[in-house]
Amino acid sequence: MIPVDYYIILSAILFTIGVLGVLVRRNALIIFMSIELMLNAANLAIVAFGSVFESFSGQIFVFFVIAVAAAEVAVGLALIVEIFRSKRSIDVDQVSSLKG
């Protein structure tokens, strides 16, 4: 019998690691993977809650999140490839033409 709190703490830890990855790393691919990690952390929390409430909704939600994540990855990687083509680099700091 594992209390749901444990899952939640685990989820929070994974999420924070994902946030750190986005903020600290400059490699666009690593940042993207960190985002996937954050999504996973959230999924884990949702399924845990669904298990507590004995509801399918959590699982179905996660199913949709995975589908959306797949779409997101397809487009995101395509963007990264395109950025690499134009900048010859996957360093996100090189992509700073938005500055005011």
Q: Which of residues 10-39 bind another protein (CB under 8 A)?
A: 10, 12-27, 29-30, 32-34, 36-37
Q: Is 86 a binder of another protein (CB under 8 A)?
A: no
Q: What is the DSSP letter of 88?
A: S
Binders of another protein among residues 66 to 85 (CB under 8 A) are: 66-75, 77-82, 84
Please give the Cα distance from 33 to 1 (Å, whole number). 32
Q: Is 87 a binder of another protein (CB under 8 A)?
A: no
Rounded to 5 degrees, φ, ψ at 25 are: -80, 150
Token pair in block for residue 4: 């749901």
Q: Is 1 a binder of another protein (CB under 8 A)?
A: yes
The distance of closest approach from Cβ of residue 73 to another protein in the complex, given in angstroms and rounded to an integer, is 5
Please give the Cα distance from 43 to 49 (Å, whole number). 10
Q: Is 42 a binder of another protein (CB under 8 A)?
A: no
